[in-house]
Amino acid sequence: MAVPYLGVFGVLLVGYMAYSFWERIDPRYPIAAGLLLLVATAVTEELGASASADVLAEYVFLLLGAGVVLLLLEQLRGRRNRPATPLPQGSAHPEEHSTDPSQQRDLPTQEPLDHLEQQPVALVDAPGGHDDQKEQAGDGQSEDRQ
């Protein structure tokens, strides 16, 4: 009895896709694996084992297809979670009215300068506070000389 390896691989791949979508694993992993297997397929074909290369090509097809499906699902998830912001009345160009990054909740990372108004910022004293007095004294001396 022959084991249907392609069917077993397909079932395992569908299980991985569900787990990957649930745990938010990077959807590019199956694509990277498919590309590596594609290189292995080319090497196998070059070595003269075309039957094995054909089987590997089927696995490549499944991996690349799974990666594309995961990327599409990730895009749909991103659109669904993003809050819709209505444009102001009379706006013809939506790119003119971009939302403030501090109001967006799904930022991937926070930049160091975001939300400065929430953090106290220390006042900076002028480093040459004494130079100010020297200039005034110098200005007074120059007026006296004239």
| Model confidence at 70: pLDDT above 90 | yes
* 15-19, 57-61, 95-99: least confidently modelled range: 95-99
Task: Please write the tens of the pLDDT for every residue from 105-133.
Answer: 555 555 666 665 666 666 676 565 555 55
Rounded to two decimals, what is the model's pTM? 0.53
Across the chain, mean pLDDT equals: 76
In a domain, 130, yes or no: no
The three state secondary structure string of 32-89 is: HHHHHHHHHHHHHHHCCCHHHHHHHHHHHHHHHHHHHHHHHHHHHHHHHHCCCCCCCC
- Count structural domains, the chain: 1
| Model confidence at 15: pLDDT above 60 | yes
In a domain, 78, yes or no: yes
**In Å, how far are 18, 88, 140 from 133, measured between CA atoms?**
72, 53, 11
- Average pLDDT (35-51) is 94
Q: Which domain holds residue 74?
A: 27-82
